[in-house]
Structure 1
């Protein structure tokens, strides 16, 4: 007999609706943050260096703490940690709102709050991977809808933040951001989740848990291969993309065109998430890698100085390919990895994905000075083709087959958690044709 709290086959279930709402609202608040922070610091007389330091304080602590967050999520109540992380961020953003509303803004205080928020994000993020299979039996469909909502939030968030800054002040945006975390915590608290399929084991030390997570991560060739390739992508393409496209588009075409290009990117990403709702390939990472090949057009279009409509089209294609890939990747991680180690493995892949982003951002300026911004962007377009080709060239990636249910990768002798030491299929395959 099916438990009333088991993952529902339909994405219209109460549990998924609550989780979906919480993620969408929280992402909307996160999309408002850079605008509010930048506008507020500029109003207080600070420059781009201060803005960069404030934003980096969050990213650095997120990347550095997420691995430990994965261990904590596997050892303790995942939902309680996620709710606690949200509630702490309600407090930090309320304090930030007070600082900006009163005009008593000190940079080190802003950076300290950013660091606390980064730690909270590091505690929260690993739990997302293990919660989705517990609220929805259709993991790929759930990821598609969530990715679409997050893309729309990233599209609407900056515009909403700009309106709030104009009507009130940056402090008002931070108050709204605190409210989004409060709603996220409420949605998580209202979930009725089934018991974890894998009981929590607390006998081992934290160091042993970290070591086990690393062994499980290394044992999956498809996973660490993707992360290695993704680190190259972050340094050479993704990291330099935002600063270089902004520096090329805004001086020649104006900030309005730059905003339209980013809107097209967000719209394409949302479309990619919707497409992934219907497209159910047997080999998910192969399909996602092919979709990524289209991402080469955006940096190339900006590097060639094409008209705004061409850059918008290329940005939409970039978003479409990235949206499909992100759904296929998230679904693969959440269904191929057993629940007992899923939070830790997800933490390792998030840390690996984020680690090289600041390096790419830092190298963007020197590379542009040495070679020219358009040349670097053109090179990024060619490298993007190489990224897709590299993913497709690894047998463990292109041949990984979808599983029918999350966390059911069969264990074999010598591999009690079902990892793919000798076999990258990862589990029982679907009967659906690609």
Structure 2
């Protein structure tokens, strides 16, 4: 086990890991809290889709700018600054809910601010990890971060379901804000020099260089295009239709939805434990096969949304999602130059997220005008077909790992 945690030998990674763990624990209830806060104000799937779309549109608008900034400035400082913004927005949301003055437009407006903040955090986090640990520990570092993320999603949604059903969603938001307050000084212990940007170039030049790096890799843009559609389906079918069914179908219920989301976290957790030991030799091949498994819970949600059956399906999908997540991070971090990684990541995120607002709005409309079972089953078929189709591309199917990284992982697996 000590060797499986070898990335913790690096001081910077230890502090980053602790700060990230704190924010993940504190924020593990936030998505469920926000969803049911909106539905408490207006029990209409279109209202929920509006708030989610507001966050995503704002995130998309600022992503490329966030990627450039993360390649120019100290990434830890960027993350800290954005946490301050998040504390303010989440705190205001909680205050509005406590005082009974929250409205759907106000929550959507605060989601716009929160989405812009996240657009700076995500590229910075993607770029900072290779700075914090050695190449041979990169898979372990990503798996460890996924481990704590999945561990918190197991208990968080269950607690959130109970808290929201009894005390209301505002208390979950208070916990999130407190966690961010604690994480800021912890993250200050991560001391790294700014990325080696070189200076003297314009933002548009930096964006053009990032685009050239992105478009020159077929495996990269093919999977990003696939995720344009897959993420739109995911956020619409799972993020909008799921809570709506939970609120209005007694077979599932709000607390039951918490158990389902937690089961997905258990699947992620189990896969992270495996990936801390087992070398992932074909990160994209196995990752996209894993993503196709998400069609299973989508189908169950539409056909028979009973808690136990849906939780089992979510567990399988969670394992597949983590297989892709670690594989994708490795593919990016091992094949993109570090001084361009945040910019390329921002193009990845932009492409992956750009259709998500359409997905949230479309599914909010679909379930009020179409049969829910037909919508979800059709979505599941389309989702799996797109994921499997990416494997036709040779660079997706064949991509391996650097020899040094594999040899270190194989030694670890044998120990």
Q: State the TM-score, normalizing by the size of structure 1.
A: 0.82
Instruction: Give the greater-gyration-radius structure (CA).
Output: 1
Aligned length, in residue pairs? 402
Which of 20, 39, 49 pairs up with 1:23? 20
SS at structure 1 position matched to 2:332:
helix
Task: After TM superposition, give the deviation of residue 309 of structure 1 in Å.
Answer: 3.6
C-alpha displacement of 1:431: 8.1
Does the CA contact (< 8 Å) of 1:272 and 1:322 recur in 2?
Answer: no
Aligned residue number for residue 262 of structure 2: 263
Q: 1:79 aligns with which of 76, 81, 91?
A: 76
Work out which of the residue numbers 243, 251, 254 in structure 1 matches 2:252: 254
**1:93 corresponds to:** 90
The range that moved more, 338-347 or 376-385, is: 376-385
Moved more, 94-103 or 342-351: 94-103
Matches within 5 A, 1:157-168: 157-161=156-160
* Cα 1:174–1:366 shift into 2, 3 Å: closer
Q: TM-score when scaled to structure 2?
A: 0.85
Q: Deviations over 1:51-101 (max 9, x none)?
A: 443443322211221111000111222221111111222233334444444
**Matched residues in 1 for 2:165 and 2:379: separation?**
36
| Alignment partner, residue 60 of structure 1 | 57
- Are 1:289 and 2:288 counterparts? yes
Query: Could you tell me how far 1:189 is from its partner in structure 2?
Result: 0.5
Q: Which has the higher contact order (CA 8 A, sep 6+)?
A: 2
> Counterpart in 1 of 2:279?
280
Deviations 1:2-42 (A, max 9, x none): xxxxxx95335443232122222223333323444455556
- Structure with the higher helix share, 1 or 2: 2
8 Å contact kept, 1:58–1:114: yes
Contact 2:126/2:345, CA 8 A, preserved across alignment: yes
Q: Report matched runs for 1:266-345 at 5 Å.
A: 266-305=265-304, 308-345=307-344
- CA deviation vs aligned residue, 1:332-387 (integer Å, no higher than 9, x gap): 11221101110101111112111222222322255456663222322333334323
C-alpha RMSD over aligned residues: 3.0
For 2:7, the equivalent position in structure 1 comes to 10
Contact 1:402 1:430 in 2 (8 A): no
Change in Cα spacing, 1:245 to 1:125, as seen in structure 2 (3 Å) is closer
Matched residue SS, 1:10 = helix
**Structure 1, residues 194-214: CA drift from partner, whole Å, max 9, x if none?**
x46x62222111111112111
Cα distance, 1:319 vs structure 2: 0.8
Deviation, structure 1 residue 221: 1.0
Structure 1 runs not aligned, ≥5 long: 1-7, 406-427
For 1:95 and 1:238, locate their aligned partners in 2 and report how far apart those are by CA, in whole Å.
25
| 1:135 alignment counterpart | 132
Counterpart of 1:215 in structure 2 is 212
Q: Taking structure 1 as reference, are residues 225 and 429 closer, same or farther at Cα in structure 2, changes over 3 Å only? A: farther
Q: 1:261/1:39 Cα in 2 relative to 1: closer, same or farther (>3 Å)?
A: closer
1:205 aligns with 2:212: no
